[in-house]
Chain A
């Protein structure tokens, strides 16, 4: 009961929080909510299967671009629905052809996908439409963006919690452990991975679509910034990519740290990014939550070891 009640109370508090903070504070909240959503959605697929995807920004940028292209043609909710569908369709096509790649090949491919999407859109804009940038003018307040992102983040966590308990979640965990055994336990590898990849991509695309009015001016180099993909991975890994709350736990402090660093040390802050990446991999490879668990388990060792 408390596991459902506590997040709901937290959500309620976060919903009314904009009434009590400055515009700058609200901007930070949106950023934090965005990264919590991105990292959680990333972990929905990559956390359990261990398929490390660097394609986050491919979907995020596509979402932002969908809004930039369609915002004058369609009502806003329809634009969001389009963005989610486009992201899902993209993931379906890409997933069908690539999810058989394993390990480092998938990592490199996913990174290439983000670059490919960016270059394709750039090429199209320059050669076909004859422009590069686009403007997004929508009657959406900063608070509305915040609430939308908060809702998407909450929905992502709820979806993850539900998947973790379902047969799909079990299948994903098993695939992450050993694909051969998973297949021989009767799990349809291709279908399972595809479902999770598409769900994750739809959320990532929606997140890009929801934040896009904040950019006002959109061009490929801005919305397809690979740093977003890397940040998402580090955040999820720091918190613990295979835990429900892990990615959120990693996202909030890291987002705030990067906000501070990028505004105070704009030229050197990628150095911190690199150091942090190395630090996370060396010190907390399974995430902070797993680390905490082992630390508390060490304090109370009587239960498990006593049996053997």
Chain B
């Protein structure tokens, strides 16, 4: 469904991503794991149209995405939840969600879609009228994900959804992700929280300083001794 081919991203002389390739098949949840500065967000930024790769190509349903501006991607069925809560703090929860249904793609089904999203996030249903900025970090993240779902996407891009959240809230967010995954949506997620992500994902890619160093089914990655040492062990590996 999504194919990233030999994508290189440079910031001036600095190479943030070096010929990375990745495939996300329909209906699967694909995780990109790695430490700070490994190039995870650059990779996701390239898929989301925010960063132009220096070389390589990104194909979605066989069509290159590189020429499309961000707002066209939504119509193609790609929704991004950017890092750090992509919400509008001054608006109510309901308005934030309604905003996600702006694209033509969302079409007439917006009301039904809203019900689905509120079923996925029961907490939001009780707080429809609340100003989003006054909610807790985890709830805001749910609003952001809900907003992305409102455009009726086929592919959901998540950039560090657990960033800066308390552990108990992270659990809640991942529980919500599990429910979304169960709906059959294709998900590409970038995370530092390797353990929780590997529990949920089908496939995983490991990144270190701009390169994909390992990939495969999440179950295999999870039991890989090198991975356990670097990502899942008690002491976190320092790469910077």
A interface with B by C-beta (< 8 Å): 167, 170, 173-174, 177-178, 180-181, 183-190, 304, 307-308
Contacts and interface: CB of A to CB of B under 8 A. Distances in A.
A184 B89 contact: no
Interface string B109-143: 00000000000000000010111001000000000
A129 B39 CA distance: 58
Contacts of B147: 181, 185
B87 A188 contact: no
Contacts of A304: 131
Contacts of B73: 184
A102 to B, nearest CB: 13
19 contacts: A170-B102, A174-B99, A177-B89, A178-B86, A180-B80, A180-B82, A180-B86, A181-B82, A183-B49, A183-B70, A184-B70, A184-B79, A185-B100, A186-B74, A186-B102, A186-B104, A307-B127, A307-B129, A307-B130
Contact of A181 (B86, B105, B127): B86
Given A185-B102, A186-B104, A174 B75 contact: no
> How many B residues are at the interface, by size bracket?
20 to 34
Interface of B: 48-50, 69-71, 73-75, 79-80, 82, 86-90, 99-100, 102-105, 127, 129-131, 134, 144, 147-148, 151
Contacts of B127: 307
Given A180-B50, A180-B82, A185 B99 contact: yes
Contact of B151 (A173, A180, A186, A307): A186
B86 A184 contact: yes
Given A177-B89, A307-B127, 14 more contacts: A174-B88, A178-B88, A180-B70, A181-B87, A184-B70, A185-B74, A185-B99, A185-B102, A185-B103, A185-B151, A186-B71, A186-B105, A190-B69, A304-B131
A304 B148 CA distance: 27
Most interface-central of A173, A183, A189 (chain B CB within 10 A): A183
A137 B152 CA distance: 62
Contacts of A177: 88-90
A308 B134 contact: yes
A170 B70 CA distance: 18
Contacts of A187: 71, 102
Contacts of A307: 127, 129-130
Contacts of A174: 88, 99
Nearest to B70: A183
A181 B100 CA distance: 9
Contacts of A180: 50, 70, 80, 82, 86
Contacts of A184: 48, 70-71, 73-74, 79-80, 82, 86, 148
B136 to A, nearest CB: 10
Contacts of B130: 307-308
Nearest to B49: A183
A299 to B, nearest CB: 19
Contacts of B49: 183
A64 B105 CA distance: 46
A308 B87 CA distance: 19
B154 to A, nearest CB: 14
A59 to B, nearest CB: 28
10 closest A-B pairs by CB: A186-B103, A183-B70, A186-B74, A181-B86, A184-B80, A177-B88, A180-B82, A183-B71, A188-B71, A186-B71
Nearest to A177: B88
Contacts of A173: 88
A7 to B, nearest CB: 25
B9 to A, nearest CB: 17
A149 to B, nearest CB: 33
Nearest to B104: A186
Contacts of B100: 185
Nearest to B153: A184
Most interface-central of A170, A173, A181, A188 (chain B CB within 10 A): A181
Nearest to B50: A180
A294 to B, nearest CB: 13
A183 to B, nearest CB: 3
A170 B127 CA distance: 22
Nearest to B100: A185
B71 A189 contact: yes
Most interface-central of B89, B90, B99 (chain A CB within 10 A): B99
Contacts of B90: 177
Nearest to B90: A177
A181 B71 contact: no
B69 A183 contact: yes
B157 to A, nearest CB: 9
A234 to B, nearest CB: 23
Contacts of A183: 49, 69-71
A184 B88 CA distance: 13
